[in-house]
């Protein structure tokens, strides 16, 4: 169903199972999967591709130009959003800053009101961005990550699977998987509650805790060298422990890694 006040470019094929609300704008080349629902005054710019059952609430804008000063933007790029993802009121997601590239959002994600995803960012499946969470350009977010309200992430940062960012967190460093971060780049603990909710075994959680202690024990070795040493010596008992260590050995922009600023995290174990 398309509301009579909506404007849909003639090139766009809208499946009969979709709902397009009042005063929506759908530009040339937009692709809509089955059972997509668009609320009031939703704007989908050229190059947007929505998977099945995506919901976009009122006043969201998807696929607008990247916020880059001094760069020509007369090229085609876009935004891909996976199935069943929900964008609440006022969410903004910008298209990629390079020709024929994509800003990518996974399936089954929830973006709460007024959260933002910058150009060229990739967000994995089952992620949640709470109200006013902000991702700059070129950020990578692993699956099942949770960004609490008001958290802000600088460009080129990588966030691992099932990481948890507390409210108003300020992130300019890489976050390993399964870690809780508070304040400004402070690793506070393992995201035990999140892992248990996902069904991680007690052995997996214990292994991740041990690997966390190994990485943050205060030695002079770099994170990369410590992780490489642990992997070489197979100082892990589960695949999840190995996954935690492997994050530090990836080729990533030189941002450094979040780290504890006190020993409070030790006392909780």
Where residue 222 falls among pLDDT bands split at 50, 70, 90?
A: confident
Work out the mean pLDDT of the chain and round it to a whole number. Answer: 94
Average pLDDT over residues 196-224: 91
Q: Are residues 22 and 105 in the same domain?
A: yes
Where residue 218 falls among pLDDT bands split at 50, 70, 90?
A: low
pLDDT at 219: 65
Distance (Å, rounded) from C-alpha 64 to C-alpha 78?
Answer: 9
Average pLDDT over residues 61-67: 97
pLDDT at 11: 93
Domain contains 29:
yes
Q: Are residues 40 and 118 in the same domain?
A: yes
Question: Which class for 3: exposed (0-12), middle (13-18), buried (19 or more C-beta within 10 A)?
Answer: middle
Considering the entire predicted model, what is its pTM? 0.93
**In percent, how much of the chain has pLDDT > 90?**
89
pLDDT for residue 21 is more than 90 = yes
| CB neighbour burial string for 189-228, b if at least 16 within 10 angstroms, e if fewer | bbbbebbeeeebeeebbbbbbbbbebbbeeeeeebeebbb
Domain contains 226:
yes
pLDDT at 269: 34
Expressed as residue numbers, the domain containing 129 is 7-66+77-138
pLDDT for residue 262 is more than 70 = no
CB neighbours of 235 closer than 8 A, spacing ≥ 6? 211, 214, 229, 245
Q: What is the CA radius of gyration of the chain?
A: 20
Average pLDDT over residues 7-21: 97
pLDDT at 217: 80
Q: Mind listing the pLDDT tens digit for each residue in 248-259?
A: 999 888 899 999
- Given a contact cutoff of 8 angstroms between Cβ atoms, the answer to whether 99 and 118 are in contact is no
Q: Are residues 209 and 87 in the same domain?
A: no
Counting the structural domains of the chain, the total is 2
User: In this predicted model, which residue has the larger pLDDT, 73 or 123?
Assistant: 123
Distance of CA 51 to the CA centre of its chain: 17
* Tokens 């800003």 -> residue: 103
CB neighbours of 225 closer than 8 A, spacing ≥ 6? none
- Determine the straight-line distance between the first and last CA of the chain, rounded to whole angstroms: 55
CATH number (domain holding residue 40): 2.160.10.10
Distance (Å, rounded) from C-alpha 31 to C-alpha 110?
Answer: 20
pLDDT at 70: 84
Q: Are residues 110 and 38 in the same domain?
A: yes
Average pLDDT over residues 60-69: 95
DSSP annotation string for 25-40: EE-TT-EE-TT-EE-T
Average pLDDT over residues 184-201: 96
Domain contains 191:
no
């Amino acid at each position: 169903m398309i509301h009579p006040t909506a404007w849909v470019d003639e090139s766009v094929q809208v499946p009969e199972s979709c709902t397009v609300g009042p005063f929506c704008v759908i530009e040339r080349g937009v692709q809509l999967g089955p059972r997509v629902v668009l609320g009031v005054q939703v704007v989908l710019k050229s190059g947007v591709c929505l998977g099945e059952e995506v919901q976009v609430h009122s006043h969201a804008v998807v696929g607008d130009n990247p916020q880059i000063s001094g760069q020509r933007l007369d090229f085609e790029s876009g935004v891909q959003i996976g199935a069943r993802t929900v964008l609440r009121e006022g969410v903004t997601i910008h298209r990629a800053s390079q020709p024929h590239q994509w800003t990518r959002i996974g399936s089954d994600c929830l973006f709460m009101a007024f959260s933002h995803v910058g150009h060229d960012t990739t967000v994995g499946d089952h992620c949640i961005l709470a109200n006013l969470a902000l991702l700059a350009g070129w950020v990578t977010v692993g699956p099942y990550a949770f960004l609490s309200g008001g958290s802000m992430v600088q460009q080129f940062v990588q966030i691992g699977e099932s990481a948890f960012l507390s409210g108003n967190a300020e992130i300019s460093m890489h976050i390993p998987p399964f870690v809780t971060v508070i304040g400004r780049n402070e690793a506070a603990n393992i995201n035990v509650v999140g892992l248990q909710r996902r069904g991680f075994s007690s052995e997996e959680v214990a292994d991740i805790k041990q690997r966390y202690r190994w990485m943050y024990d205060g030695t002079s070795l770099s994170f990369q060298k410590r992780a490489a040493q642990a992997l070489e010596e197979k100082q892990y008992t589960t695949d999840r422990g190995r996954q935690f260590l492997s994050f530090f050995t990836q080729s990533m922009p030189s941002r450094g890694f979040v780290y504890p600023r006190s020993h409070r995290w030790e006392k909780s174990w």
